[in-house]
Amino acid sequence: MSSLTVTLKDGSLHEMEPGSTWSQVAAGISRKLGKEALAARVDGAVDDLQSQAQQDRQVEFLTFADEDGRAVFRHTSSHILAQAVQRLFPGTKLAIGPAIADGFYYDLDSEHVFTNEDLAAIEAEMRRIVKEDHPLVRRDVSREEANEYFTLRSEPYKLELIQDLPADVQVSLYKQGEFIDLCRGPHLPSTGMVGAVKLLSIAGAYWRGSEQNKMLQRIYGTSFPKQNDLDEYLQRIEDAKRRDHRKLGQELDLFGIADEGPGFPFFYPKGMIIRNQLEEFWRQLHRQWGYQEIKTPMILSRELWERSGHWDHYEENMYFLKIDEEDYAIKPMNCPGGIICYKRRPHSYRELPIRYGELGLVHRHERSGVLHGLMRVRCFTQDDAHIFMMPEQITGEIIKVIKLIDFIYKTFGFSYRMELSTKPENAMGSDEIWEQATDALKQALEQNGNAYKINEGDGAFYGPKIDFHLQDTLGRNWQCGTIQLDFTMPECFDITYIGEDGEKHRPVMIHRTAFGSIERFLGILTEHYAGAFPAWLAPVQARVITVADRHIPVASEVAASLEQRDFRVEVDDRNERVGYKIRDGELEKIPYLLVVGDKEAEAGAVSVRKRGQGDLGRISVGDFAVQLASDIAQKA
């Protein structure tokens, strides 16, 4: 029989023997790929390596370096976790066990309450299962057969999942040794490919995320092909704990959450300095880029939120109240207020694009279980902007927004990746409008030379969007900035402009943020810098340290001289040893410590210690001021 042909990622053709699996195809391309391949992306869909290869397909082999490859690796790891738990704790019921960013989890229903001590035993059993090297074998069965199997196994959560499937669909099961799970896959060829595993924590999780359902036990873990990769990851976890913004926020007296207001952050004086610097940076930049700042009310009527679609599509995330027996809502988004600002008077095509910027405080109802410091709160300030433009201005405006956001992130030392999110299930507007908006975003990304990934079905209810995912110094990703293109809300609010022909036309809207939320961005920055903010952001830019009480007058003069230049300065004149005071300043992560003793007092100078560099020697107060001003101006 003649050979079969497939197209590889680079466009080249590869011949294979009839009946080959994708695993055999990978090995036929190179021995290294045969060892490292975890799954195959066939015509865009991820498939098991054990599946039979087919003629005239486009195939890409996924390794642990690929996001989808890691997902397959860790999804298999979650099955190994479930198998280990059922071996050690018979009678445990299985819910779901997906791969997540940097790891996996499995939700379990057990009479046994799992402890951290149990994790060590489960982890050891997982290593046994890996060593046993069980093949993962997929079997497609009818819904009736799957029901019968999981009924005999007394697995109520699996039966509920099967019940939600279409009646005529085939149900896929995966078997490894004695263990069988309901799963769409794909999976690794065998358990032996999971090189190193670590169970991390235990948490509670409601079945299907609903508080009306039973609370299950969720075991989190991670896995890697090699032990040294796992060790490096665990070291990053320890680094992340030391950088936790909640811990640093308290230690540096920046911000916190009180019991009296869960999810509602407090900013202390030093935290407000950083926040104000961020906002001033934002304002100055937006003035330069042609934005006008507005401020819209926090509470608006039900009629407005019905018109915008939020009442129907976002109600569960909103807070409500009555005023004069009428329904009102606290705004969860700033966009309807921005539209009202636009609509206050007629506009000509000559004015467009109109760019409104707003640092708007919004409130959203979040479950208590997901609240997390400044990262997940119930009120936050969005650095919003709403751009009103003609259709022919779309590409140019999106490119300008991308360039602005790029400038902001580079200022803070962030790299990032971009995702294009498409039409969700609860979308407003026609398919035609959504296709037009999505194509416009693609065109802008490609014209600007930006690489991006498609995120199917994750757009806002009123339009597709580009999301910016920042990467911090620990390699973690944070979704911050977003650009949303909206043809729908201009229709809902009947906003227009007078065109060159003298007729009314419908503008198009861009919704966008760069920080995303001031609160969250500040939390990310705190962890990114480990609390050691650059001089332009630091609450205290320099601290003057006295050697003895007789140096207090000189230290006060130094501080006053620097304060006149608008620097943020403190004096530490405590009756303590110099080394102790220097140590305190380093723990508080102050950029510059200026020591004043007899020699400095005589010379009209200061001995400068720079954070991260140590002693810079003795220089005049004027020269130090020039150096600090340069740091601030360059945002170094």
For 453-501, give the DSSP string.
Answer: EEETT-SBTTB-EEEEEEE-TTS-EEEEEEEEEESHHHHHTT--EE-TT
pLDDT at 310: 86
For the chain, list the domains and their CATH numbers.
4-63 (3.10.20.30), 68-237 (3.30.980.10), 281-528 (3.30.930.10), 542-634 (3.40.50.800)
- The answer to whether 135 and 190 have CB atoms below 8 angstroms apart is yes
- Tokens 């920042």 label which residue? 470
281 vs 359: CA distance, rounded Å: 12
* Beta-ladder partners of 79: none
Where is 186: in which H helix or E strand?
none
Q: What are 151-181's pLDDT values in tens digits?
A: 999 999 999 999 988 878 899 999 999 999 9
Calculated CA dihedral for residues 588, 589, 592, 593, nearest 10 degrees = 40
Instruction: Average pLDDT across each block of 10 residues of the chain; the chain has 636 residues. List them in order.
Output: 79 88 93 95 95 91 96 98 97 96 95 95 98 97 94 96 88 96 96 96 92 95 97 92 94 95 96 97 97 96 90 88 94 94 96 97 90 94 96 93 96 93 82 85 91 85 88 85 90 94 95 95 95 97 96 95 96 95 96 96 94 94 95 92
Interatomic CA distance for residues 456 and 420, integer angstroms = 8
| Alpha helices for 529-570 (secondary structure H) | 552-564
What pLDDT sits at residue 260?
A: 94
* Distance from C-alpha of 147 to C-alpha of 153, rounded to nearest angstrom: 10
What separation, in Å, do the N-terminal and C-terminal C-alpha atoms of the chain show? 67
pLDDT at position 432 is 83
Identify the three-state secondary structure at position 576. coil
Q: Residue type for 437, please?
A: A
**Positions marked catalytic:** 335, 364, 382, 384, 386, 465, 511
What is the DSSP code (8-state) at residue 101?
T
Beta bridge partners of 13: 7
Buried b (16+ CB within 10 A) or exposed e, 422-447: bbbeebbbeeebbebbbebbeebbee
Q: How far apart are CA 58 and CA 5, in angstroms?
A: 10
Say which DSSP state 362 is in.
E
Segment 487-517, tens digit of pLDDT: 888 998 999 999 999 999 999 999 999 999 9
Identify whether 18 is preceded by a cis peptide bond (ω within 30 of 0).
no
Q: Which amino acid belongs to residue 398?
A: I
pLDDT at 2: 62
What count of residues does the chain have? Answer: 636
Q: What local confidence, expressed as pLDDT, does residue 309 receive?
A: 85
Instruction: Give dist(CA 199, CA 222) in Å, integer.
Output: 6
Each residue of 262-274: pLDDT tens digit? 999 999 999 999 9
β-bridge partners, 323? 326
Q: Is 502 exposed, middle or buried (0-12, 13-18, 19+ CB in 10 A)?
A: exposed
Please tell me the predicted confidence (pLDDT) of residue 286. Answer: 97
Average pLDDT, the chain: 93
- Centre a 10 Å sphere on the Cβ of residue 48 and count the other Cβ atoms it contains: 23
Residue pair 629/536 in contact by the 8 Å Cβ criterion: no
Q: How far is CA 43 from CA 6, 397, 547, in A?
A: 10, 34, 72
User: Distance between CA 217 and CA 203 in Å, rounded?
Assistant: 6
Biggest distance spanned by C-alpha atoms of the chain: 98
Helix residue ranges per DSSP H, 40-113? 67-88
